[in-house]
Amino acid sequence: MSLEFEVDDWVYLKLLPMNGVMKFAKKGKLSPRYIGSYKIPNRVGNVAYELELPHLLETVHSVFHLSMLKKGLGDPSLIVPTENVWIKDDLSYEDILVQILDHQLRRAKVTRISIQRLVDLA
């Protein structure tokens, strides 16, 4: 079964994982895998679609491969906010520095768990 979208469908956009990069204020497992939903104004070729991206993502090319999209909900009120995206003009990101305020070692049966309390320096 091949996945296809129609014009005026709503889709989520997949974020590519990059090691050591803070995206959308979360890092690692907790960072969102998809953002959106965005409307498809037209189809470009067999496997590429153009998306209506918000003003904050204007530096990103608006045409995406089929594998980067996931069927979305048609309700624009469910859009994941993108105001925490810090994309520079050269499409690079900055790490957010944190300071460790407190450090504890807790013991859970055999293993020891390190618990740290952090504060954002930005």
Residue 79 has pLDDT above 70, yes or no: no
pLDDT for res 33: 78
The pTM assigned to this predicted structure is 0.54
Mean pLDDT of the residues in the chain: 76
Overall domain count for the chain: 1
pLDDT of residue 1: 44
Range(s) of the domain holding residue 51: 10-95
CB 11 within 8 A of CB 36: yes
Q: How does strand 34-39 pair with strand 10-14?
A: antiparallel
What is the mean pLDDT of the segment spanning 82-96? 67
Would you place residue 56 in the very low, low, confident or very high pLDDT band (cuts 50, 70, 90)? confident
Residue 14 scores a pLDDT above 80: yes
Q: Is residue 115 part of a domain?
A: no
Phi, psi angle pair for 78, to nearest 5°: -95, 15
